[in-house]
Structure 1
Amino acid sequence: MKQENQAFMQAWGTQLLTVVQERERQPVPPTPQWIDASKLTERFQKLNPSTFTKATTDLLYPAQWIRDMEGIFEVLRCTDEDKIRCAAFQFRGEVNSWWQSTKDNFRQLYPNPTWDQFTETFQGNYFPQSFRDQKEIEFMSLTQGPKSVLEYQQIFEELFYFAPKHMKPDGVKARKFEKGLRPSIISSKVLHNLPSYAEVVQAAKVIEDKQ
Protein backbone atom coordinates (compact mmCIF):
# COMPACT_ATOMS: atom_id res chain seq x y z
CA MET A 1 0.00 0.00 0.00
CA LYS A 2 2.83 2.40 0.89
CA GLN A 3 4.52 1.74 -2.46
CA GLU A 4 1.22 2.32 -4.27
CA ASN A 5 0.76 5.67 -2.49
CA GLN A 6 4.33 6.70 -3.34
CA ALA A 7 3.78 5.75 -6.98
CA PHE A 8 0.52 7.69 -7.07
CA MET A 9 2.08 10.81 -5.53
CA GLN A 10 5.01 10.65 -7.95
CA ALA A 11 2.70 10.35 -10.97
CA TRP A 12 0.37 13.03 -9.64
CA GLY A 13 3.29 15.38 -8.94
CA THR A 14 4.67 14.90 -12.47
CA GLN A 15 1.27 15.62 -13.99
CA LEU A 16 0.78 18.71 -11.83
CA LEU A 17 4.21 20.10 -12.72
CA THR A 18 3.40 19.65 -16.41
CA VAL A 19 0.21 21.66 -15.98
CA VAL A 20 2.12 24.39 -14.11
CA GLN A 21 4.78 24.59 -16.83
CA GLU A 22 2.13 24.82 -19.56
CA ARG A 23 0.38 27.61 -17.65
CA GLU A 24 3.63 29.56 -17.25
CA ARG A 25 4.15 29.47 -21.02
CA GLN A 26 0.74 31.02 -21.68
CA PRO A 27 0.75 34.82 -22.07
CA VAL A 28 -1.05 36.77 -19.35
CA PRO A 29 -4.01 38.65 -20.87
CA PRO A 30 -3.89 42.41 -20.34
CA THR A 31 -6.19 44.05 -17.81
CA PRO A 32 -9.17 45.44 -19.76
CA GLN A 33 -9.76 49.17 -19.80
CA TRP A 34 -13.34 49.94 -18.88
CA ILE A 35 -13.95 52.98 -21.07
CA ASP A 36 -17.65 53.01 -20.19
CA ALA A 37 -17.82 53.25 -16.38
CA SER A 38 -21.54 52.50 -16.41
CA LYS A 39 -20.91 49.07 -17.96
CA LEU A 40 -18.38 48.24 -15.27
CA THR A 41 -20.80 49.35 -12.55
CA GLU A 42 -23.53 47.22 -14.12
CA ARG A 43 -21.35 44.11 -14.17
CA PHE A 44 -20.12 44.86 -10.66
CA GLN A 45 -23.67 45.07 -9.30
CA LYS A 46 -24.66 41.80 -11.00
CA LEU A 47 -22.10 40.05 -8.77
CA ASN A 48 -24.09 41.14 -5.68
CA PRO A 49 -21.37 43.01 -3.77
CA SER A 50 -22.18 43.65 -0.13
CA THR A 51 -22.47 47.15 1.25
CA PHE A 52 -20.47 48.38 4.22
CA THR A 53 -22.44 50.59 6.59
CA LYS A 54 -20.60 50.60 9.90
CA ALA A 55 -18.17 48.73 12.09
CA THR A 56 -19.66 45.74 13.90
CA THR A 57 -18.81 43.69 16.96
CA ASP A 58 -16.97 41.35 14.58
CA LEU A 59 -13.61 43.13 14.50
CA LEU A 60 -12.50 41.18 11.44
CA TYR A 61 -15.55 42.06 9.34
CA PRO A 62 -13.86 45.00 7.52
CA ALA A 63 -11.07 42.66 6.41
CA GLN A 64 -13.63 40.10 5.24
CA TRP A 65 -15.47 42.81 3.31
CA ILE A 66 -12.24 43.79 1.53
CA ARG A 67 -11.55 40.14 0.66
CA ASP A 68 -15.07 39.84 -0.77
CA MET A 69 -14.42 42.90 -2.93
CA GLU A 70 -11.12 41.47 -4.12
CA GLY A 71 -12.86 38.23 -5.10
CA ILE A 72 -15.23 40.22 -7.32
CA PHE A 73 -12.37 42.22 -8.82
CA GLU A 74 -10.64 38.99 -9.82
CA VAL A 75 -13.68 38.27 -11.99
CA LEU A 76 -13.94 41.78 -13.43
CA ARG A 77 -10.16 42.23 -13.85
CA CYS A 78 -10.41 46.00 -13.55
CA THR A 79 -7.80 48.66 -12.82
CA ASP A 80 -6.94 49.95 -9.35
CA GLU A 81 -8.88 53.15 -10.02
CA ASP A 82 -11.95 51.08 -10.97
CA LYS A 83 -11.56 48.96 -7.82
CA ILE A 84 -11.49 52.05 -5.61
CA ARG A 85 -14.51 53.55 -7.33
CA CYS A 86 -16.53 50.34 -7.08
CA ALA A 87 -15.62 49.72 -3.44
CA ALA A 88 -16.47 53.29 -2.41
CA PHE A 89 -19.79 52.93 -4.25
CA GLN A 90 -20.75 50.28 -1.67
CA PHE A 91 -20.16 52.54 1.34
CA ARG A 92 -23.27 53.51 3.27
CA GLY A 93 -24.09 55.41 6.44
CA GLU A 94 -21.20 56.28 8.72
CA VAL A 95 -18.69 54.54 6.45
CA ASN A 96 -19.73 56.72 3.54
CA SER A 97 -19.46 59.78 5.80
CA TRP A 98 -15.92 58.75 6.68
CA TRP A 99 -15.01 58.35 3.00
CA GLN A 100 -16.55 61.68 1.99
CA SER A 101 -14.45 63.44 4.64
CA THR A 102 -11.32 61.48 3.69
CA LYS A 103 -11.26 61.13 -0.08
CA ASP A 104 -10.00 64.65 -0.92
CA ASN A 105 -6.97 64.25 1.35
CA PHE A 106 -6.51 60.73 0.01
CA ARG A 107 -6.45 62.00 -3.57
CA GLN A 108 -4.01 64.74 -2.69
CA LEU A 109 -1.71 62.28 -0.98
CA TYR A 110 -2.04 59.70 -3.77
CA PRO A 111 -2.73 61.41 -7.16
CA ASN A 112 -2.67 58.00 -8.87
CA PRO A 113 -3.83 55.74 -6.05
CA THR A 114 -3.36 52.01 -5.99
CA TRP A 115 -5.73 49.50 -4.46
CA ASP A 116 -3.15 48.76 -1.76
CA GLN A 117 -3.02 52.44 -0.81
CA PHE A 118 -6.80 52.51 -0.59
CA THR A 119 -6.95 49.41 1.63
CA GLU A 120 -4.17 50.76 3.84
CA THR A 121 -6.18 53.96 4.38
CA PHE A 122 -9.31 51.91 5.02
CA GLN A 123 -7.42 49.64 7.39
CA GLY A 124 -6.03 52.60 9.32
CA ASN A 125 -9.55 53.79 10.09
CA TYR A 126 -10.99 50.44 11.19
CA PHE A 127 -8.07 48.62 12.79
CA PRO A 128 -6.06 50.21 15.62
CA GLN A 129 -2.31 49.70 15.24
CA SER A 130 -2.22 47.49 18.34
CA PHE A 131 -4.88 45.23 16.82
CA ARG A 132 -3.01 45.01 13.51
CA ASP A 133 0.25 44.22 15.31
CA GLN A 134 -1.45 41.45 17.27
CA LYS A 135 -2.92 39.88 14.14
CA GLU A 136 0.39 40.11 12.31
CA ILE A 137 2.08 38.20 15.15
CA GLU A 138 -0.67 35.57 15.02
CA PHE A 139 -0.17 35.21 11.26
CA MET A 140 3.61 34.91 11.43
CA SER A 141 3.42 32.21 14.13
CA LEU A 142 0.51 30.28 12.57
CA THR A 143 0.99 26.55 11.94
CA GLN A 144 -1.41 23.77 11.00
CA GLY A 145 -1.05 21.76 14.21
CA PRO A 146 -3.96 19.31 14.64
CA LYS A 147 -6.20 21.23 12.22
CA SER A 148 -7.16 19.89 8.82
CA VAL A 149 -5.61 21.58 5.79
CA LEU A 150 -8.96 23.27 5.08
CA GLU A 151 -9.21 24.64 8.63
CA TYR A 152 -5.60 25.82 8.46
CA GLN A 153 -6.27 27.48 5.10
CA GLN A 154 -9.32 29.34 6.44
CA ILE A 155 -7.41 30.79 9.39
CA PHE A 156 -4.39 31.53 7.20
CA GLU A 157 -6.46 33.55 4.73
CA GLU A 158 -8.29 35.38 7.52
CA LEU A 159 -5.00 36.51 9.06
CA PHE A 160 -3.22 37.09 5.75
CA TYR A 161 -4.92 40.49 5.50
CA PHE A 162 -2.62 41.58 8.33
CA ALA A 163 0.56 40.02 6.91
CA PRO A 164 3.57 42.34 6.46
CA LYS A 165 4.11 43.67 2.94
CA HIS A 166 7.03 41.39 2.15
CA MET A 167 4.70 38.40 2.61
CA LYS A 168 2.14 39.63 0.05
CA PRO A 169 3.64 38.22 -3.21
CA ASP A 170 1.95 34.96 -4.14
CA GLY A 171 5.17 32.94 -4.17
CA VAL A 172 6.13 34.13 -0.68
CA LYS A 173 2.58 33.42 0.51
CA ALA A 174 2.84 29.88 -0.86
CA ARG A 175 6.09 29.19 0.98
CA LYS A 176 4.70 30.60 4.26
CA PHE A 177 1.64 28.33 4.00
CA GLU A 178 3.85 25.36 3.13
CA LYS A 179 6.19 26.02 6.05
CA GLY A 180 3.27 25.88 8.51
CA LEU A 181 1.98 22.49 7.36
CA ARG A 182 2.40 19.38 9.48
CA PRO A 183 5.71 17.51 8.97
CA SER A 184 3.88 14.52 7.51
CA ILE A 185 2.54 16.73 4.71
CA ILE A 186 5.45 19.11 4.19
CA SER A 187 7.84 16.18 3.72
CA SER A 188 6.38 15.58 0.25
CA LYS A 189 8.74 16.80 -2.45
CA VAL A 190 5.77 17.67 -4.65
CA LEU A 191 4.98 20.77 -2.60
CA HIS A 192 8.44 22.29 -2.94
CA ASN A 193 8.14 22.52 -6.73
CA LEU A 194 4.80 24.34 -6.83
CA PRO A 195 5.11 28.10 -7.41
CA SER A 196 1.66 29.40 -6.47
CA TYR A 197 -0.32 29.50 -3.23
CA ALA A 198 -3.41 27.90 -4.78
CA GLU A 199 -1.38 24.96 -6.09
CA VAL A 200 0.33 24.37 -2.73
CA VAL A 201 -3.03 24.38 -0.94
CA GLN A 202 -4.58 21.94 -3.40
CA ALA A 203 -1.57 19.63 -3.27
CA ALA A 204 -1.59 19.66 0.55
CA LYS A 205 -5.25 18.61 0.55
CA VAL A 206 -4.55 15.73 -1.84
CA ILE A 207 -1.59 14.55 0.25
CA GLU A 208 -3.71 14.76 3.43
CA ASP A 209 -6.47 12.65 1.82
CA LYS A 210 -3.95 9.97 0.91
CA GLN A 211 -2.52 9.67 4.43
Structure 2
Amino acid sequence: MARQPTQAAMFKDLLKAVQDLGRQETQAAPQNVQTNSNMTSSVVEQFRRYKPPSFNGMTGPLAVEEWIRGLERIFKHLSCTDAQKVLCTEFMLVDVAGHWWESASRTRTEAQQRNLTWARFKEEVMEKYFPQALRDRKESEFLQLK
Protein backbone atom coordinates (compact mmCIF):
# COMPACT_ATOMS: atom_id res chain seq x y z
CA MET A 1 0.00 0.00 0.00
CA ALA A 2 1.39 3.39 -1.01
CA ARG A 3 2.33 5.67 1.88
CA GLN A 4 0.79 9.13 1.91
CA PRO A 5 3.37 11.94 2.07
CA THR A 6 3.73 13.48 5.51
CA GLN A 7 3.16 17.18 6.01
CA ALA A 8 6.90 17.64 6.45
CA ALA A 9 7.62 15.84 3.17
CA MET A 10 4.95 17.85 1.35
CA PHE A 11 6.36 21.08 2.78
CA LYS A 12 9.87 20.05 1.72
CA ASP A 13 8.61 19.27 -1.82
CA LEU A 14 6.75 22.58 -1.97
CA LEU A 15 9.82 24.48 -0.81
CA LYS A 16 11.95 22.72 -3.43
CA ALA A 17 9.40 23.57 -6.14
CA VAL A 18 9.41 27.25 -5.14
CA GLN A 19 13.21 27.29 -5.10
CA ASP A 20 13.33 25.57 -8.52
CA LEU A 21 10.93 28.15 -9.94
CA GLY A 22 12.97 31.00 -8.49
CA ARG A 23 16.17 29.63 -10.04
CA GLN A 24 14.48 29.14 -13.39
CA GLU A 25 13.02 32.66 -13.44
CA THR A 26 16.49 34.18 -12.99
CA GLN A 27 17.78 32.60 -16.19
CA ALA A 28 18.49 34.91 -19.14
CA ALA A 29 15.73 35.94 -21.59
CA PRO A 30 17.08 33.96 -24.61
CA GLN A 31 16.52 30.81 -22.63
CA ASN A 32 12.78 31.47 -22.05
CA VAL A 33 11.66 28.53 -24.17
CA GLN A 34 13.97 26.19 -22.26
CA THR A 35 12.96 27.80 -18.95
CA ASN A 36 9.25 27.33 -19.66
CA SER A 37 9.91 23.71 -20.55
CA ASN A 38 11.93 23.19 -17.36
CA MET A 39 9.27 24.90 -15.25
CA THR A 40 6.53 22.71 -16.70
CA SER A 41 8.66 19.61 -16.25
CA SER A 42 9.42 20.58 -12.65
CA VAL A 43 5.73 21.20 -11.89
CA VAL A 44 4.73 17.85 -13.42
CA GLU A 45 7.40 16.09 -11.34
CA GLN A 46 6.23 17.84 -8.18
CA PHE A 47 2.60 17.01 -8.99
CA ARG A 48 3.37 13.32 -9.50
CA ARG A 49 5.15 13.13 -6.12
CA TYR A 50 1.77 13.67 -4.45
CA LYS A 51 0.51 10.48 -6.13
CA PRO A 52 -2.58 12.11 -7.65
CA PRO A 53 -5.57 9.87 -8.32
CA SER A 54 -6.42 8.87 -11.86
CA PHE A 55 -9.91 9.08 -13.32
CA ASN A 56 -11.24 6.48 -15.75
CA GLY A 57 -14.73 7.87 -16.38
CA MET A 58 -16.43 4.60 -15.46
CA THR A 59 -17.37 5.44 -11.88
CA GLY A 60 -20.44 7.29 -10.67
CA PRO A 61 -20.96 11.03 -11.16
CA LEU A 62 -19.95 11.94 -7.62
CA ALA A 63 -16.54 10.36 -8.24
CA VAL A 64 -15.53 13.03 -10.78
CA GLU A 65 -16.34 15.78 -8.29
CA GLU A 66 -14.23 14.08 -5.63
CA TRP A 67 -11.42 13.49 -8.14
CA ILE A 68 -11.28 17.19 -9.04
CA ARG A 69 -11.36 18.14 -5.36
CA GLY A 70 -8.37 15.85 -4.74
CA LEU A 71 -6.42 17.44 -7.59
CA GLU A 72 -7.19 20.92 -6.31
CA ARG A 73 -5.82 19.96 -2.88
CA ILE A 74 -2.53 19.12 -4.61
CA PHE A 75 -2.54 22.29 -6.73
CA LYS A 76 -2.99 24.32 -3.56
CA HIS A 77 0.56 23.27 -2.63
CA LEU A 78 2.09 23.89 -6.06
CA SER A 79 2.80 27.16 -7.79
CA CYS A 80 1.59 26.53 -11.32
CA THR A 81 -0.29 28.14 -14.15
CA ASP A 82 -3.66 27.06 -15.52
CA ALA A 83 -1.89 25.48 -18.48
CA GLN A 84 0.33 23.47 -16.14
CA LYS A 85 -2.68 22.34 -14.09
CA VAL A 86 -4.40 21.12 -17.26
CA LEU A 87 -1.23 19.40 -18.46
CA CYS A 88 -0.73 17.63 -15.12
CA THR A 89 -4.36 16.57 -15.01
CA GLU A 90 -4.37 15.23 -18.56
CA PHE A 91 -1.91 12.56 -17.36
CA MET A 92 -4.49 11.40 -14.82
CA LEU A 93 -7.30 10.81 -17.32
CA VAL A 94 -7.14 7.10 -18.20
CA ASP A 95 -9.18 4.53 -20.10
CA VAL A 96 -12.56 5.88 -21.28
CA ALA A 97 -11.91 9.34 -19.82
CA GLY A 98 -8.51 9.53 -21.50
CA HIS A 99 -10.01 8.62 -24.87
CA TRP A 100 -12.80 11.17 -24.42
CA TRP A 101 -10.31 13.92 -23.56
CA GLU A 102 -8.05 13.12 -26.51
CA SER A 103 -11.08 13.34 -28.79
CA ALA A 104 -12.29 16.60 -27.21
CA SER A 105 -8.79 18.08 -27.49
CA ARG A 106 -8.65 17.34 -31.21
CA THR A 107 -11.68 19.59 -31.75
CA ARG A 108 -9.75 22.64 -30.48
CA THR A 109 -7.19 24.68 -32.33
CA GLU A 110 -3.64 24.66 -30.99
CA ALA A 111 -4.17 28.16 -29.57
CA GLN A 112 -7.43 27.12 -27.86
CA GLN A 113 -5.74 24.09 -26.34
CA ARG A 114 -2.75 26.17 -25.17
CA ASN A 115 -5.05 28.82 -23.62
CA LEU A 116 -7.40 26.36 -21.91
CA THR A 117 -8.00 27.55 -18.35
CA TRP A 118 -8.30 25.29 -15.34
CA ALA A 119 -11.86 26.53 -14.77
CA ARG A 120 -12.85 25.70 -18.35
CA PHE A 121 -11.20 22.29 -18.11
CA LYS A 122 -13.20 21.50 -14.96
CA GLU A 123 -16.42 22.67 -16.65
CA GLU A 124 -15.85 20.35 -19.60
CA VAL A 125 -15.03 17.35 -17.42
CA MET A 126 -17.99 18.00 -15.11
CA GLU A 127 -20.39 18.49 -18.04
CA LYS A 128 -19.27 15.17 -19.49
CA TYR A 129 -19.31 13.10 -16.30
CA PHE A 130 -21.70 14.97 -13.98
CA PRO A 131 -24.01 17.14 -16.15
CA GLN A 132 -25.76 20.14 -14.62
CA ALA A 133 -29.19 18.49 -14.93
CA LEU A 134 -27.97 15.54 -12.86
CA ARG A 135 -26.33 17.86 -10.32
CA ASP A 136 -29.62 19.76 -10.00
CA ARG A 137 -31.54 16.50 -9.50
CA LYS A 138 -29.05 15.30 -6.83
CA GLU A 139 -29.31 18.65 -5.05
CA SER A 140 -33.11 18.41 -5.09
CA GLU A 141 -32.99 14.88 -3.69
CA PHE A 142 -30.66 16.05 -0.94
CA LEU A 143 -32.88 18.99 -0.03
CA GLN A 144 -35.92 16.68 0.21
CA LEU A 145 -34.28 14.30 2.68
CA LYS A 146 -36.17 14.00 5.93
TM-score by length of 2: 0.64
Q: CA deviation at 1:39?
A: 1.3
Deviation string, structure 1 residues 73-108 (Cα, Å, up to 9, x no partner):
110121110000000111111111001100132456
Q: 1:92 aligns with which of 91, 94, 101?
A: 94
Aligned to 2:79: 77
Q: 1:126 aligns with which of 108, 126, 129?
A: 129
Pairs within 5 Å for 1:22-171: 35=36, 36=38, 37-56=40-59, 58-107=60-109, 110=112, 112-137=115-140
Change (3 A) 1:78 1:94: same
Change (3 A) 1:74 1:106: farther
For 1:116, the aligned partner's letter is A
Distance in 2, Cα, partners of 1:109 & 1:39: 23
Seq. identity, %:
35
Change (3 A) 1:44 1:100: same
Q: CA deviation at 1:137?
A: 4.9
Q: Is the radius of gyration larger for structure 1 or structure 2?
A: 1
The SS at the match of 2:44 is helix
Q: CA deviation at 1:51?
A: 1.0
The SS at the match of 2:107 is helix
For 1:104, the aligned partner's letter is R
Q: CA deviation at 1:125?
A: 0.7
For 1:74, the aligned partner's letter is K
Deviation string, structure 1 residues 178-204 (Cα, Å, up to 9, x no partner):
xxxxxxxxxxxxxxxxxxxxxxxxxxx
For 2:77, the aligned partner's letter is V
Change (3 A) 1:41 1:109: closer
Q: CA deviation at 1:54?
A: 2.7
Equivalent pairs, count: 110
Q: CA deviation at 1:124?
A: 1.1
Pairs within 5 Å for 1:154-193: none
Distance in 2, Cα, partners of 1:138 & 1:114: 32
Change (3 A) 1:119 1:106: farther
- Structure 1 unaligned runs (5+)? 1-31, 143-211
Distance in 2, Cα, partners of 1:95 & 1:67: 17
Change (3 A) 1:130 1:108: farther
Distance in 1, Cα, partners of 2:56 & 2:109: 22
TM-score by length of 1: 0.46
Deviation string, structure 1 residues 38-82 (Cα, Å, up to 9, x no partner):
2111111111101112321x3300000001011111101211100
Change (3 A) 1:106 1:122: farther
